[in-house]
Amino acid sequence: MVDLFGGNPNNPLASTVDSDDSVQLLDTTLRDGEQAPGVSLTPDEKADIARSLDRANIEFIEAGSACTGEGERETIRQVTALDLDATVTSFARGVQNDIDLALDCDVDGVTIVVPASDKHIERKVGTTHDEVVENTADLVEYAKDHGLWVEVIGEDGSRADLDFLERLMREALDAGADRSCFADTVGHATPETAYEYVSRLAELGPVSTHTHDDLGLGMTNVWASLAAGADLVHGTINGIGERAGNVALEEVAIALAHGYDVETAKLEDLYDLAQQVSHATGVPLPPNKAVVGENAFTHESGIHTDGTLKDDTMYEPYPPELVGRERRLVLGKHAGRAGVRAALDEHDVDVSEEELAAIVERVKRLGDRDKRVTDADLLAIAEDVQGRERDRYVELLDLTAASGGGTPTASVRLRVGEQERVASGTGSGPVDAAVEAVRAALGSEADAQLESYHVDAITGGTDAVVTVEVEMSKGDRTVTVATSDSDITRCSVDAMVEALDRLLGSAAVGPDAESEGATIADD
């Protein structure tokens, strides 16, 4: 049996994190997060993320590595010029020039990384243990003499000789460092290792923890570190970073708040921050990711949906509003009567018990075909079960698009109410141009928001059929529509027009509609 806390029969973490200011966060999204393969943030993106981190009350922001180059230094200067409340730092290697470059960027502090394991001391740097200790003390004194907040990281600390690591950090703290940091640089540590190492360092003075997720233990090692006495956690938004990534700061923040009543960040800002970082880095959020994943507060199972409708807390550890989210009830093969009725109520559709039973059966059958049941699907099923037809309010009559040899253009002909409207648009591609044409045709009525746009190829080859799914909202109403076609432009416009029709129209659609969600009425 794993003895995570070194034989302590009590819960050491609960006594360690017992006040709101006992744990702080250092975000390294702009430095360590950017080291993820394929990630490159512009200066403006870094500045925008830094502002958001500051608004979320993150105490420390590592803005980059000043030693990387002049472009990186300009980016760090852009962040320091924001006059944030957070302490803005630069990553510095164990050389004085790195500290000078950081000072030139007007940062508040530096994290000085020095080799700690034999691998790094002897094989990477080619020096001796004594020289590392002496050089580290000199660098700390130099940085402190220049008014910087200083943290010292022993690189590859989880594979270092613990006696040497303790000696190194004692000398750093004696030289004036504000804190030492336990670094599991390659995600090697088990919780027992993290607890043992951090316990020893915590006896010397303030200690931070920097964990990676190569063994899937990044979060567990943070908890072991906190139990051992760490009071500052390094991490990144969404857990992005080199290899398997860093610990996700939003997960640390909500776990501390929910489990121990320790506030480290403004929780309601976490989801927007996650979306911002995901968009800027191009790294999508896994749907099952804790706190910020699409499915974190989404319920399909009939039992779960019924319980959630009766009591919001039935199947959730904390309310979605706490982290800037909303609860979602979706339909599929596991749907039950309570969830289907709730979804119909959202669209002001009244059904009898007999009609509800028929609709639930149809929803389950559609879900059994491995298909997500969208709002348009549900409404079309309800219309067919009740024998209703509706006059479409918005209908696509004609679409042309061209993108070769110049600016992509598109024109559409719509029926809106009793009118026919023709409009054209331009864009970065034919889909963008067609969407702009639809917006132009609708004019002020096109004030619905496109919340998400997703494309999946469902067949192979050059004539592949694609499915486009859009989510649109207007006021407090949201509609999701999926359509399929071999022409992605037509498919995208069909989906958007169907969603707009659902949001803007007052009646229902018949079985002749373009969207896949409506054609299932023939099922």
**Residue 110 belongs to a domain with what CATH number?**
3.20.20.70
Q: Has residue 112 got a pLDDT over 60?
A: yes
Model-level pTM?
0.73
Of the given ranges (143-147, 195-199, 216-220, 420-424), which has the lowest mean pLDDT? 420-424
106 and 59 share one domain: yes
335 and 458 share one domain: no
CA dihedral 220, 221, 227, 233 (to 10 degrees): -110
Q: Has residue 230 got a pLDDT over 80?
A: yes
Q: How far apart are CA 50 and CA 61, in angstroms?
A: 7
57 and 198 share one domain: yes
Q: Has residue 521 got a pLDDT over 70?
A: no
| Residue 363 or residue 131, greater confidence | 131
Question: Residues of the chain with pLDDT > 90: what percent?
Answer: 55
Confidence of residue 373 (pLDDT cuts 50, 70, 90): confident
Q: Has residue 380 got a pLDDT over 60?
A: yes
**How many Cα atoms sit within 13 Å of 395 on the Cβ side?**
17
What was the pLDDT predicted at 340? 82
101 and 227 share one domain: yes
Q: Has residue 18 got a pLDDT over 50?
A: no
214 and 182 share one domain: yes
- What is the arithmetic mean of pLDDT over 208-234? 97
What was the pLDDT predicted at 327? 75
How far lies 77's CA from each of 28, 70, 89, 244, 469, in Å? 16, 10, 11, 29, 41
Of the given ranges (175-184, 366-375, 439-448), which has the lowest mean pLDDT? 366-375
Tell me the backbone φ, ψ of residue 275, rounded to 5 degrees.
Answer: -65, -40
Q: Has residue 94 got a pLDDT over 80?
A: yes
What was the pLDDT predicted at 5? 47
380 and 414 share one domain: no
201 and 79 share one domain: yes
411 and 377 share one domain: no
Helix (H) or strand (E) run with residue 415 in it? strand 409-416
Q: Has residue 206 got a pLDDT over 60?
A: yes
| Residue 384 or residue 439, greater confidence | 439
Last residue of a domain, one of 341, 357, 386: 386
CB 515 within 8 A of CB 472: no
Mode of pairing for the β-strands spanning 207-211 and 394-402: unpaired
- What is the arithmetic mean of pLDDT over 199-212? 98
Confidence of residue 302 (pLDDT cuts 50, 70, 90): very low
* Ramachandran assignment for 318, one of left (phi > 0), alpha (psi -120 to 50 degrees), beta (any other): beta
405 and 379 share one domain: no
Q: What is the CATH number of the domain that holds 423?
A: 3.30.160.270
Average pLDDT, the chain: 85
Please calculate the CA angle 69-74-80 and round it to the nearest 5 degrees: 125
* Residue 14 belongs to some domain of the structure: no
CB 296 within 8 A of CB 311: no
What was the pLDDT predicted at 261? 92
Range 213-251 burial, b when 16+ CB lie within 10 A, else e: bbbebbbbbbbbbbbbbbbbbbbbbbbbbbeebbbbbbb
Domain that holds residue 237: 30-247
Please calculate the CA angle 518-448-319 and round it to the nearest 5 degrees: 90
* Residue 304 belongs to some domain of the structure: yes
Confidence of residue 507 (pLDDT cuts 50, 70, 90): very low
Confidence of residue 381 (pLDDT cuts 50, 70, 90): confident
Number of domains comprising the chain:
3
What was the pLDDT predicted at 459? 57
489 and 465 share one domain: yes
What was the pLDDT predicted at 463? 60
Confidence of residue 30 (pLDDT cuts 50, 70, 90): very high
Q: Has residue 300 got a pLDDT over 60?
A: no
- What is the arithmetic mean of pLDDT over 386-408? 81
What was the pLDDT predicted at 449? 83
What was the pLDDT predicted at 370? 58
240 and 149 share one domain: yes
* Residue 277 belongs to some domain of the structure: no
Tens digit of each residue's pLDDT (9 = 90 or more) over 237-264? 999 999 999 999 999 999 999 999 999 9
* Residue 264 belongs to some domain of the structure: no
Sequence-distant (≥ 6) Cβ neighbours of residue 351 within 8 angstroms: 341, 344, 359, 382, 385, 386
- What is the arithmetic mean of pLDDT over 49-71? 97
Confidence of residue 513 (pLDDT cuts 50, 70, 90): very low
Confidence of residue 388 (pLDDT cuts 50, 70, 90): confident
156 and 67 share one domain: yes
Structure tokens that stand for 56 in this block: 């979320």
What was the pLDDT predicted at 510? 35
Of the given ranges (136-140, 300-304, 342-346, 480-484), which has the lowest mean pLDDT? 300-304
Last residue of a domain, one of 343, 363, 386: 386
Structure tokens that stand for 483 in this block: 């359509």
For the chain, the helix, strand and coil percentages under 3-state DSSP, each to the nearest 5: 45, 20, 35
- What is the arithmetic mean of pLDDT over 67-76? 95
**How many Cα atoms sit within 13 Å of 222 on the Cβ side?**
28
Q: How far apart are CA 433 and CA 115, in angstroms?
A: 54
Confidence of residue 311 (pLDDT cuts 50, 70, 90): low
Confidence of residue 516 (pLDDT cuts 50, 70, 90): very low
Which amino acid does the sequence have at 38? G
Q: What is the CATH number of the domain that holds 375?
A: 1.10.238
